[in-house]
């Protein structure tokens, strides 16, 4: 799915544009827990989140996230946006809730990760 498609489906606003028009985001996910992002993050994925602090962008960088979608029209602080710009991550804002943003993208064909076992209980 391309940036343009994300914007259309989410009725979103483009805050930072770090990708080319034909760049594809292969899958999506959603989390407000940063350790979840680190656990299931996949290269190039779209991350839906309700948190807007700069550490979300740092976490996204480590997990290889390609685009961040801030849900419920949350306005991120300027530090968050400038960090995303530096790190080459695309940032979008949408008025939809986390549930509906995910639903719309999934319905439009943006894949999830399927069943993931995050907890490693082999201590």
Q: Does residue 24 belong to the site contacting another protein (CB under 8 A)?
A: no
Give the residue, chosen from 8, 11, 32, 73, that forms a contact with another protein under the rule CB under 8 A: 32
What's the closest the beta carbon of residue 105 comes to another protein, in angstroms?
21
Stretch that binds another protein, among 35-43, 67-75, 98-106, 108-116 (CB under 8 A): 35-43
Contact status: 21 vs another protein (CB under 8 A)? yes
Residue 7 interacting with another protein (CB under 8 A): no
Tokens of 52: 């807007």
R_g (Cα) of the chain, nearest Å: 13
Question: Read out DSSP for 75-100?
Answer: ---HHHHHHHHHHT-EEEE-SS-HHH
For tokens 């509906």, what's the residue?
Answer: 100
């Amino acid at each position: 799915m391309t940036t343009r498609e994300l914007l259309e489906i989410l009725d979103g606003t483009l805050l930072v544009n770090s990708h080319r028009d034909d760049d594809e985001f292969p899958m999506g996910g959603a989390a407000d827990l940063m350790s979840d992002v680190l656990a299931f993050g996949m290269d190039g994925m779209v991350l839906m989140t309700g948190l807007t602090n700069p550490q979300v962008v740092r976490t996204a960088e480590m997990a290889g996230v390609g685009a961040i979608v801030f849900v419920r029209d949350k306005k991120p602080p300027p530090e968050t946006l400038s960090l995303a710009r530096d790190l080459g991550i695309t940032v979008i804002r949408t008025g939809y809730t986390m549930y509906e943003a995910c639903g719309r993208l999934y319905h439009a064909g943006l894949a999830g990760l399927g069943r993931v076992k995050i907890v490693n209980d082999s201590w």
